[in-house]
Structure 1
Amino acid sequence: MSGNTITHENAATAEPIGTTRGTTRDGSLAPNRAARELGLRRSEFDLAVHLGRIRTVPDDEGGGRRRIAREEIERIREGEGFPEALRAGVRAVGTTEGAALMEVTRARYTRLARLGLLVPVKFYVNRYRAVVWLYLADELRQFAADERNAPLLKGRTPEGLRDQLAEGLDLRPRHWRGRHLGFLLRQADDPWARAAAVASLLDPVEVADVVRDPYERSHLLRFRPAPPAHGSPGSPAARLAEEIMTAADPDEVDWLRTDLADAVEAARGQRPAPRPALRPVPAPPDRKPTPHDARESGRFRGLLGRLLGRES
């Protein structure tokens, strides 16, 4: 991905809140309503959910939607430093701002990110069809404050790491997938949903090779999580995002295949995938013997008698 991937500063833009929905009988809120009550932009709210900072519950109406319990809203509001601390904890920055926070050059910042030392929390595809990676500001500060990382922030990059970069190493997509899988597993309330979360990061050919039963594959598809939206379906941006969301490194593919096999086995043990019911074959209708049947029966008995006579 290093050939068509760039990073630069881009603060998360506000998304329209849209029409809010009322609370349900149990007091839970729709995401738009919850974001407003917490003083967050929708993009900030979604990232907080992604990071596990805001807990969600399944929507009783189904459809894979999630809601936020009223008790969760109150818990967050009672947190220390609310709302500033909550917003600061989900602040995502790009390369320019991230490098400034760490007091390093943009080039060094990008090298650290490609080496997997800085883990992106989200990405988007810009109008130039290039991937823009965003990172948590808090995590960048923590990295820079750790004295063990001082050699990486100043001086020459160690030779072994320079060689890996020269060979095109870029761990940003892989580390984002790992983080995204953690989010999907936290949201999964069903054993088949957990298996589908793992399957969502594998090429369909790999999934078919691991899950040979067509009914189980079909059941997995029902629980497959919706991918993050990046452009209209089939657009260059959507295809590039799909490439990022699909494991490519052989060792990553291997451990995902193993995890998928284990997850399907666990799901199968708890609740087998549904299969079409076998329809019983109806018995032929009863009918009365006809004169033709009697003649045929007589001929058969005569033939049988002659055969037995010859053998004796």
Structure 2
Amino acid sequence: MAVKEATAREALGMQRAREELCLEAEEFEVALQTGEVRTAPAVGGRRRVVREDVDRLREEEGFPDRLRARLELVGSIEGAALIGISRERFTRLAKGGFLRPVRWYVNRYRAVVWLYLAEDVRRFARAHPALLEGRLPAPLRDALDEGEDRRARGWRARRVEELVRDAEDAWAEASAWCALLGPEAAADAVPDERERAHLRRLCPALPAGSTGSYATRELIEAQTVASHPDEVTFAQVSLADALLRARADGPAPHPERATPAAASARPIAPPPSAEPAPPTTPAPRSRWRRLLGLG
């Protein structure tokens, strides 16, 4: 569950925290997403950054370069070069579920491009040296030949874990599982319209980050909605458990000003945010914007 509610002395605003950590906007987003920097609910419903995390990171040896290295994202070409294998082998290992993407975007050719934490790639190479050379295990080869591709499923699992980690209560946790199931499966799992509307307001869809201007609704839903039978079953069981705890705490609140259209809206992609003020210690931007498909 989320960190306890923050007071003004214990937490910082997002902009101030980013500046103190000397991070680009995209790096800071990854830090929040991966839990490198924690947030806590504050007065007014907004979230603030936990002060002790900022202090701890600033006191690290090699700050801020060491922190930036942990937040570095790589595509398949850079990830393969990082551990000395071919791009084709890297992609096959990622499709086999050995590497879980942390972000994705849609390029100009309407292809989904997956991004991985460089630190995850290094950790995988250290843990599985036998998979870096020679023939891949026969079961993995057979699964890949049959079209196995766990990248979207791995991203979804990671994203829901992050949302559940930051959930303020059981209703917020349930909303993450509900978003993973998608509107049709969620309607079957949560027949009460009042509860379903509340869950949609909390989390209408899995937040995908910067999907790029070429992303369509169909492409986004294909990455964000559970599709594998095992994945769907696990989400249904987890949703039922979260709902049981949520209902024990109290019924879903009445919608204050929600219309049917607003309640069922599923955003295709978040609008580009305004460019924030530069951090105290500027960092190069071009590579990050390229990786995230922002030009």
TM-score, normalised to structure 1's length?
0.74
Q: Which of 169, 193, 208 is equivalent to 1:228?
A: 208
The answer as to 2:44 corresponding to 1:61 is yes
Q: Say if 2:208 and 2:224, in contact at 8 Å, map to a contact too.
A: no
Report deviation, 1:236. Answer: 4.0
Report deviation, 1:26. Answer: 4.2
Q: Which of 205, 208, 212 is equivalent to 2:184?
A: 205
The answer as to 2:108 corresponding to 1:140 is no
Q: Say if 1:116 and 1:172, in contact at 8 Å, map to a contact too.
A: yes
The answer as to 2:108 corresponding to 1:124 is no
Q: Who is 1:184 aligned against?
A: 163
Q: Who is 1:309 aligned against?
A: none
Give the alignment's Cα RMSD to 1 decimal.
2.0
Equivalent residue letter for 2:119: D
How many angstroms apart in 2 are the aligned matches of 1:27 and 1:75? Answer: 13
Secondary structure of 1:120's counterpart equals coil
Q: Who is 2:20 aligned against?
A: 37
Q: 1:275 to 1:84 in 2, by over 3 A?
A: closer
Equivalent residue letter for 1:184: L
Equivalent residue letter for 2:22: G
Q: Who is 1:102 aligned against?
A: 83
How many angstroms apart in 2 are the aligned matches of 1:231 and 1:109? Answer: 23
Report deviation, 1:160. Answer: 2.1
Q: Say if 1:192 and 1:220, in contact at 8 Å, map to a contact too.
A: yes
Equivalent residue letter for 1:48: A
How many angstroms apart in 2 are the aligned matches of 1:203 and 1:252? Answer: 12
Of all paired residues, the percent bearing the same amino acid is: 50
Q: Who is 1:160 aligned against?
A: 139
How many angstroms apart in 1 are the aligned matches of 2:136 and 2:244? Answer: 45
Secondary structure of 1:89's counterpart equals helix
Residue-by-residue CA offset, 1:4-52 (whole Å, 9 max, x unaligned): xxxxxxxxxxxxxxxxxxxx95474332332122110111111111111
Q: Say if 2:79 and 2:118, in contact at 8 Å, map to a contact too.
A: yes
Residue-by-residue CA offset, 1:84-105 (whole Å, 9 max, x unaligned): 2111111111111111111111
Residue-by-residue CA offset, 1:253-282 (whole Å, 9 max, x unaligned): 011011111111110001112359xxxxxx
Q: Who is 2:222 aligned against?
A: 243
Secondary structure of 1:239's counterpart equals helix
Report deviation, 1:134. Answer: 0.9
Equivalent residue letter for 1:134: L
Moved more, 26-35 or 247-256: 26-35
Segments of 5+ residues of structure 2 without an aligned counterpart are 1-6, 256-295
Q: Say if 1:99 and 1:109, in contact at 8 Å, map to a contact too.
A: yes
Residue-by-residue CA offset, 1:113-143 (whole Å, 9 max, x unaligned): 1000111111111122111111111121122
How many angstroms apart in 2 are the aligned matches of 1:243 and 1:202? Answer: 12
Report deviation, 1:231. Answer: 4.5
Q: 1:37 to 1:237 in 2, by over 3 A?
A: farther
Q: Say if 1:29 and 1:67, in contact at 8 Å, map to a contact too.
A: yes
Q: Which of 64, 67, 82 is equivalent to 1:86?
A: 67
Segments of 5+ residues of structure 1 without an aligned counterpart are 1-23, 277-312
How many angstroms apart in 1 are the aligned matches of 2:50 and 2:71? Answer: 20
Residues paired across the two proteins, number: 247
Equivalent residue letter for 2:122: R
Secondary structure of 1:123's counterpart equals strand
Greater Rg, structure 1 or structure 2? Answer: 1
Greater relative CO, 1 or 2 (CA 8 Å, sep 6+): 2
Report deviation, 1:170. Answer: 0.2
Q: Who is 2:129 aligned against?
A: 150
Secondary structure of 1:201's counterpart equals helix
Q: Who is 2:251 aligned against?
A: 272
Report deviation, 1:70. Answer: 3.5
Equivalent residue letter for 2:61: E
Q: 1:73 to 1:275 in 2, by over 3 A?
A: closer
Report deviation, 1:68. Answer: 1.3
